[in-house]
A and B are shown apart, each in its own frame.
Chain A
Amino acid sequence: MNMEAEILFDSYLPGALQMALDYAGDDGYVASLPQLLHARANASYDNIIWNTWFTSNTEESVVTTPHGNHVVVAVHGGGIYARSARFERMYHANQARSNLEGFTGQYAGKISEIEARDVLEGKLPCGTEIPVYPYDEFKQGIADLPMRYGVILDYDLARKSTQGFQSFDALKDEPNMIVRAGGVESLAAYLDRAQARHNTKVMGNFHPFDYINPDQPQTRVLFLAGNNGGVGSEGDYNYGYDSENGIGGYACMLNMARYAAVVPQNASTSVRDLPFSPSS
């Protein structure tokens, strides 16, 4: 059995996510941001993984702890918004500012107090429980990280993280980046590859934490930027989906999506590699 990946794209994010979940089935998974970065770090630059943008199965939630502290909880592998139905509930909610559901003014997804409290404890709406690591512990390294887990980062630390296009060396020690990449080593491996692609000096890293109200519990999914050829990766070329702004964490939760889903495939039962003519 080999693990094989497929791209699932749709102009409607919940549609793309549902396709990805259906494709993944019970034995596969929808790639999180650390998994996308790992795949890039181990792929040639000609591969599509480097040449377009992806939506990740990773989310960052701003929540308040029982002690009244604000934190960012990153969940890789599917968290509060792990199901397309949760997105649709948000889309169809009353968008009045006072409503506890729906979008924030900057198009994050509002989450309930229960969802916020549960995710801090690693309890997800689907009933799954995941390990949740404090950032300091996570930075030191976790042996045998599971596919699905959370990391808690102090909000002030997240807010003060550099924003925009930064040198690769600076990014290697950036808390948000370490969490997003799945650890210090994984981040370094990815950054080295990204830097070597065109011998660039800086890369984009964006987050919303310096201009939102942390009292409003909210969640965003993370996007991994990319365009054909990796042009303009130093912030000087292209707009919108064609831009190469590194890793984006302030995109709205409303647009199109491109997921990568990975499933075990038995090549011996597939038509994929069969010879269809004597000359094949």
Chain B
Amino acid sequence: MALEYTGDDGFVASMPQLLHVRANSSYDNIIWSTWFTQNSEESVVSTPGDNSAVVAVNGGGIFGIPERFGTLFHADVNRFCEIGFTGLFAGKVTEREVHDVLKGELHDGTEIPVYRFVEFKRGVGKLPRRYAVILDFETARDACNGYQPFEELKNHPMMIIRAGGVEEEAKHSDCARNRHQTSVMGTLHPFNAIGPEQTQTRVPVLAENDGYVDSEEEDGHLFGYDSEYGMGGDSSIHDTSMINVARYVDVALRDASTSLQNLPF
């Protein structure tokens, strides 16, 4: 539905776009008051040098089309199946998909730029809407997991990638902190709980609830979709499962003069 709504000229919002829009909207806006699925994914892959890495694609990657989810959902759930779920409900990806995404080649024939994290952190001139960032697996694995002070998040590699850069991350963290003058925010990842030998992809979730309550609590009274754990997700089915409900945001070109939306009835 999201892809159909956007058509050829629009887009399904990625994690950096969702965080950008939060940083530029009032706290009363729905963008701050519920959770979203975004058009970003994080894959664990093996590079040609046999090193493990995390490749984050913003704007639609291996799982950028619904058919790829369909392939995953209908695959044999046998442990040895190469295209089904991992034991922790990530989507297994093939060697060919890994090979292609490392080169920035996607299913639909689109080619996207792929930046190394050190280069990305320094800042890339004019970022396209769709791009990838490669981070070595150890750095991702060792990054803090859970609720962290906002100042630390500003230097957190996964947060920098998810926000679309250092400056964007700082703006979002400042806005998130100022909402209720909180001290910490959740950022979760699965990389310290999985075997990197299995190539796999997850779509991280941007959490939120009405009023942004319990955003500092690891053991708050809210669970599942009502919890406010920041963003990402560990290896729990409740947080990053690829099979649960989804809420995307589409952005499309509309000519207000041809819509009846604002007509006086």
Contacts and interface: CB of A to CB of B under 8 A. Distances in A.
B263 interface: yes
A38 B257 contact: no
Interface in B245-261: 249, 251, 257-261
Interface in A55-86: none
A7 B17 contact: no
Interface stretch (B21-29, B110-118, B180-188): B21-29
B21 A275 contact: yes
Nearest to B11: A276
B257 A48 contact: no
Contacts of B25: 274
B58 to A, nearest CB: 11
B265 interface: yes
Contacts of B26: 268
B-side interface mostly = loop
A277 B258 contact: no
Interface residues of B, number: 26
Contacts of A269: 28-30, 33
A276 B257 contact: no
B179 interface: no
Interface residues of A, number: 30
29 contacts: A4-B261, A5-B261, A35-B265, A36-B265, A38-B264, A39-B263, A39-B265, A42-B263, A42-B264, A44-B257, A47-B257, A47-B258, A48-B259, A49-B263, A268-B26, A268-B29, A269-B28, A269-B29, A270-B29, A271-B30, A271-B31, A271-B249, A274-B24, A275-B20, A275-B21, A275-B24, A276-B17, A276-B18, A276-B21
Interface of A: 2-7, 29, 31, 35-36, 38-39, 42-44, 46-49, 260, 262, 268-271, 274-278
Interface of B: 11, 13, 17-18, 20-21, 24-26, 28-31, 33, 129, 249, 251, 257-265
